[in-house]
Structure 1
Amino acid sequence: MAHALIEVERKFIPGPGTEKRLQELGGTLEHQVTFWDRYYDTPELSLMRADYWLRQREGSGWELKCPGTAGVSGPHQEYVELTVEPAIVAQLCVPVQETAPAKLMVYLQRFQPQDYQRLLQVHRLREKPQGTKDPEGNLG
Structure 2
Amino acid sequence: MAQGLIEVERKFIPGPGTEERLLELGGTLEHQVTFRDSYFDTPELSLMRADHWLRQRESSGWEFKCPGAAGVSGLHTEYVELTAEPAIVAKLCVLAQEVAPAKLIVYLQRFRPQDYQRLLEVHSSRENPQGTKDADSSLD
SS at match of 2:87: helix
Give the partner amino acid of 1:86.
P
1:89-114 superposed Cα distances (whole Å, 9 cap, x missing partner): 11111469xxxxxxxxxxxxxxxxxx
Seen in structure 2, the aligned counterparts of structure 1 residues 12 and 76 have a Cα distance that, compared at 3 Å, is farther
**2:33 corresponds to 1:33:** yes
* Cα distance, 1:70 vs structure 2: 3.4
- Is the Cα contact below 8 Å between 2:54 and 2:65 reproduced in 1? yes
Give the partner amino acid of 1:91.
K
Higher relative contact order (CA 8 A, sep 6+): 2
Name the CA distance, whole Å, in 2 between partners of 1:25 and 1:76: 35
Aligned to 2:47: 47
Moved over 6 A (4+): none
Give the TM-score of the pair, scaled to structure 1. 0.62
> Where does the alignment leave 5 or more consecutive residues of structure 2 unmatched?
99-109, 111-140
* Cα distance, 1:4 vs structure 2: 2.0
Give the partner amino acid of 2:22.
L
* Cα distance, 1:21 vs structure 2: 1.0
1:64-109 superposed Cα distances (whole Å, 9 cap, x missing partner): 011002377xx8610011001110011111469xxxxxxxxxxxxx
Aligned to 2:70: 70
Give the partner amino acid of 2:59.
G
Name the CA distance, whole Å, in 2 between partners of 1:40 and 1:95: 17
Aligned to 1:120: none
Name the CA distance, whole Å, in 2 between partners of 1:18 and 1:71: 39
Name the CA distance, whole Å, in 2 between partners of 1:95 and 1:70: 19
Instruction: List aligned pairs for 1:69-88, cutoff 5 A.
Output: 69-70=69-70, 77-88=77-88
Identity, % of aligned pairs?
80
Name the Cα RMSD after superposition.
2.5
* Cα distance, 1:34 vs structure 2: 0.4
Seen in structure 2, the aligned counterparts of structure 1 residues 86 and 5 have a Cα distance that, compared at 3 Å, is same
Aligned to 1:116: none
Instruction: List aligned pairs for 1:54-133, cutoff 5 A.
Output: 54-70=54-70, 77-93=77-93, 94=96
Which structure dedicates a bigger proportion of its chain to helix?
A: 2
Say which one has the larger Rg.
1
- Is the Cα contact below 8 Å between 2:67 and 2:76 reproduced in 1? no
Aligned to 1:16: 16
Give the partner amino acid of 1:42.
T
